[in-house]
Structure 1
């Protein structure tokens, strides 16, 4: 993998973009809290930033499959760069109301709905079929390292600048990503790729826009339904992310503050622990994971992921929570890497943009719904009890996958 220049270029672009995303979330939440002082307004805008996965995700894959993946990545990053720059510039010009922040956050997330599927669909064009697990591990590590570096950069910068100016650094990260991704080799659109998969070279014509767009849209949904192994992996992903993502995003800061009596520094330590465990696990999977069936790895990873949240019911200290999260985070790459590798092997090359868009919808769309649900549930359920309940529910998704006859054959 270290000799694959194109894949390393994709890693560099992904790493820079992920740092931008990480700092953007910190800047967005802090700015809203400073301006409104309202947790409700902050939560609503945060939820709005996830809505494009639902509203855009269903059809973004059609566009991704119609364009060269490199072009989609560049255009998505250029859009995010300009939209992020608009935040501090509009603030300096005439101020920036909350509805304006919400609108720009929505548009920025809409661009991300194209970036993610194009990135995932490009990987099989840059790596041989036998190297997909290692290639996916490498690209996933960009996200994990960004979880360490992005918050550190934001924390280091905030004492020396207003929160609104942090968006200039976010724009800089997207600009760097754009520059790096310009070094990617040019590849044809998915319609000019093989009909039967990434290793086949027969060329077919890409469809034109117009009525054919909706034909492609319908074809993508039909493909997801007909390919039962892919469909059931999608169903498991939907259920698992609904159970877990709200507690992770909303529940964890609430857990640290109300259950542990901790402060913002304690929360930052807990969040940073996720990255440490994931980096170690990603290296282990890249080194030893080629012999494992990716679908079974996914199911066992879901079980481990859920069960390792259960001890938060009894933990009452920050060091104890850090230990639990470290153990928990070791299992996260077994889900993300194995799912991506399984899809690369199961999905036709010309359909991958659409299928990855549906999985982006499953992850980010369910995150929006889960955040809203958890906010209601925590009004009457102690947060430590929330974690053992969702832990068992999430583990149940993995058990379902292991027992389902279609997934057992995947």
Structure 2
């Protein structure tokens, strides 16, 4: 049946498969550059944590380093989103990626010359955090510019898969490298690895990008972004949830260094192994998210509940290998929370304010770390790694359950338990309103 002239003029969106975004040349270039850069980033993370622990012998010092790296996001994150909305994203990323390379190279020189002190690590972590304030929202928006809205959820998931693939290699290589020649060469590799991302940005075809709306300079843009989020429950509650989990549930540099050093009396190779196992789970979570191609709030809440519960269980694992094995599903559900929240928020946000909304998302997700990391580090030092890990998991679990109830009430649904064979045992169903008749349907008011 004909629908009239021009009915078929709009091209159908490309089907979403697990790797469909990689068919787009610009995104493919970007992904290749990110593999190299992300590997260097993970190497530096492991080297930085281990260097601080070696210099101080304190899990609290590791927590302070992590806090300083994410403190700028807490203080200035929303302003970074304003800049990302105003400026061209590709040019902005060329600047931020070059600046991040400089911080890695500076730390490499200090370490290789034997001059490094713990305050040097604190300072470079803080400077890296300042650059990240602008880099994070710019990267989030630039994904949409490379692939367009139809492939956004898939590209966000593949970005996470890319990051976690590098996490499989980076910690393992860093562990070997630290043992063989010291932490300085891990910092050097990270500084040089940013050349891959810069090169990929320079090689892109700008004519094939989907430029996003650039907000003109004006007063009140920060308040405008906050008002927009507060008026949309589908944005504010996922942001609150990832804020709790990012602040209390993602302090793995503190917990894993403490478990390796204090519980298992091992070295950098073991620390690298535990990070690699988490990365295996995270990679699986990212690929499953890419295959789904959709981002539902029910998946977000369910993954958050399982993430918090598994952290509590792992904290009291009686053996090393059980603890190590539990890190795989923890990584999978933690990554599912991050990817699902990221893509659902982007797709529900007006492009004109997307930079400010995503900067708020990143601010509460990673910017809460300066608040949580010192507290978690103190609990870990005073009460031990097991109590510290369990406390972070318990807070994440409680937050997920509470926000799950809030979202269910606002959507007018409830959780239904059905133990009959062949039926979904757990499902969200609409709430019944009013008295129910004998036939099982709500009675009509007279």
Q: Place the TM-score, normalised by the shorter chain, in its bin.
A: 0.7 to 0.9
Count of residues in correspondence between the two structures: 390
SS for the counterpart of 1:282 is helix
Q: Which moved more, 1:324-333 or 1:113-122?
A: 324-333
In structure 2, distance between residues paired with 1:258 and 1:35: 16
Which stretch of structure 1 is more off in the superposition, 336-345 or 218-227?
Answer: 218-227
**Aligned CA distance change for structure 1 residues 115 and 207 (closer, same or farther; 3 Å):** same
Task: Tell me the CA shift for residue 130 of structure 1.
Answer: 3.7
Q: Distance in 2 between matches of 1:111 and 1:300?
A: 33
Superposed, 1:300-319 pairs within 5 Å as 300-319=302-321
* Superimposed CA distance per residue, residues 146-193 of structure 1 (whole angstroms, 9 cap, x where no aligned partner): 11121233234335544334322111111222112223343586444x
Question: Against the structure 1 CA distance between its residues 235 and 36, is the aligned structure 2 distance closer, same or farther, given a 3 Å change threshold?
Answer: closer
Structure 2 residue aligned with 1:326: 328
Q: More helix per residue: 1 or 2?
A: 1
- The whole-number CA distance in structure 2 between the counterparts of 1:243 and 1:91 is 31
Match of 1:350 in 2: 352
Q: Does 1:175 align with 2:189?
A: no
Correspondence for 2:216 among 182, 204, 207: 207
Greater Cα radius of gyration, structure 1 or 2: 2
Give, in angstroms, the shift of residue 88 of structure 1.
3.8
Deviation (angstroms), 1:96: 4.9
Deviation beyond 6 Å, 4+ runs, structure 1: 91-94
What does the per-residue CA deviation read over 1:86-115, in whole Å, with 9 as the maximum and x for residues that have no partner?
Answer: 334467789455434422321122112222
Do residues 109 (structure 1) and 119 (structure 2) align?
Answer: no
Q: Does 1:221 align with 2:226?
A: yes
Instruction: Specify whether residues 391 and 27 from structure 1 end up closer, same or farther in structure 2 by C-alpha distance, changes over 3 A only.
Output: closer
Kindly indicate whether residue 247 of structure 2 is the aligned counterpart of residue 242 of structure 1.
yes
Matched, 1:254 2:262: no
**TM-score, scaled relative to structure 2:** 0.79
**3-state SS of the aligned residue for 1:181?**
helix
Q: Which residue of 1 aligns with 2:78?
A: 58
SS of the equivalent of 1:184 reads coil
With over 3 angstroms needed to count, the CA separation of the structure-2 counterparts of 1:384 and 1:42, relative to structure 1, is closer
Task: Pick closer, same or farther for the CA change 1:40–1:299 going to 2, 3 Å.
Answer: closer
Deviation at 1:346, TM superposition (A): 0.7
Deviation per CA, 1:314-342, whole angstroms, max 9, x where unpaired? 41211111221123222123212211221
> Residues 167 and 327 of structure 1: is their aligned pair in 2 closer, same or farther, counting only changes over 3 Å?
closer
User: Do 1:77 and 1:177's aligned partners in 2 also have CA atoms closer than 8 Å?
Assistant: yes
- Please say if residues 10 and 139 of structure 1, whose CA atoms lie closer than 8 Å, have aligned partners that are also in contact: no
Q: Which residue does 1:166 correspond to in 2?
A: 186
CA distance 1:273–1:174, change in 2 (3 Å): same
CA distance in 2, matches of 1:82, 1:241: 27
Question: What RMSD over aligned residues (CA atoms) do the two structures have, in Å?
Answer: 2.8
Measured after TM superposition, the shift of residue 241 of structure 1 is 1.8
- Structure 1: which 5+ residue stretches go unaligned? 193-205
- How many angstroms apart in 2 are the aligned matches of 1:261 and 1:98? 23
CA shift in 2, pair 1:323/1:25, >3 Å: closer
